[in-house]
Amino acid sequence: MAGRIGNLRHAVTLEAPVRTPDEGGGGVETWTAVATLWATIRATGGAEVELGDALRGRVSHEIIIRAQAGVTPAQRFRLETRIFQILAVRDLDGRGRFLSCLVEERHL
């Protein structure tokens, strides 16, 4: 089962957005590390999507972590150069031990 501690093999960084005002009245969004967590990462699907004049691959994953307060879809995970935008978070087994995060890998 993915929700076993021994299966949490990837050290991922949970990041949160920080918006800083710029001189033009807008803002710049940067990301700051919130925590480093051990995780299981497994691909759940993929598709090709058209962005502008190009086709791009879109890959969905499930990332499972030990329960951590405050994990929301406004955040993302980073694994080295890979970025995973959180789409949804749920209690994996209904007992509050693990969170299942449905994510989409972003290519920046």
Q: What gap in Å lies between CA 18 and CA 34, rounded to an integer?
A: 11
Mean per-residue pLDDT for 49-78? 86
Report the mean per-residue pLDDT for the chain.
88
Give the closest residue to 67 by CA, choosing from 25, 95, 47: 95
% of the chain residues with pLDDT over 90: 67
pLDDT for res 12: 98
- Say if residue 49's pLDDT is above 70: no
3-state secondary structure of 6: helix
Q: What is the DSSP string of 54-67?
A: EEEEEEEEEEEEE-
Q: What is the pTM of this model?
A: 0.82
